[in-house]
Amino acid sequence: MSRLKVLTDEDLFRISDDFGEILESEVSKSISLKELEDLELDIVLNYENEQLDVDVDVGVLFDELSEISQDQISKAIDEAYLKFDSYIDENFRV
């Protein structure tokens, strides 16, 4: 696998925004938006020694009649990370 290019602050901002969009997309694929009252994403990027670590905290407030499980949310997040890895490979590897 090729190495990660040197990332600028602009790159990190773009990566954070794009990962947020990927997460929202994956969550909305697996969960009806009618069942969500609020979706809050907290994405933290740590870029040191040419290595990028990404942590995400997903806060979901469900409609009181929702039957969505935590497992569904976890699967959506896992799928988002897989797509994010591909995104990084395509856009930020040299």
Q: How far is CA 61 from the centre of its chain?
A: 17
CB 1, CB 92: distance < 8 Å: no
* Residue 72: predicted pLDDT: 84
Copy the structure tokens of residue 13.
């901002």
| Residue ranges of domains in the chain, CATH in brackets | 9-92 (3.30.300.100)
Q: Which residues lie below 8 Å from residue 20, measured CB to CB, with a gap of 6+?
A: 41, 43
With a pLDDT cut of 90, the percent of the chain lying above it is: 55
13-58 pLDDT, tens digit per residue, is: 999 999 999 998 998 887 777 777 788 889 999 999 889 999 999 8
* Residue 1: predicted pLDDT: 61
- What is the rounded distance in angstroms from the CA atom of residue 89 to the CA atom of residue 33? 30
Residue 58's closest CA among 94, 19, 32?
19
Q: Classify 8 as helix, strand or coil.
A: coil
Rounded to an integer, the average pLDDT of 69-89 is: 91
* Residue 2: predicted pLDDT: 81
Residue 80's closest CA among 21, 33, 17?
21
| pTM of the full structure | 0.85
* Residue 33: predicted pLDDT: 72
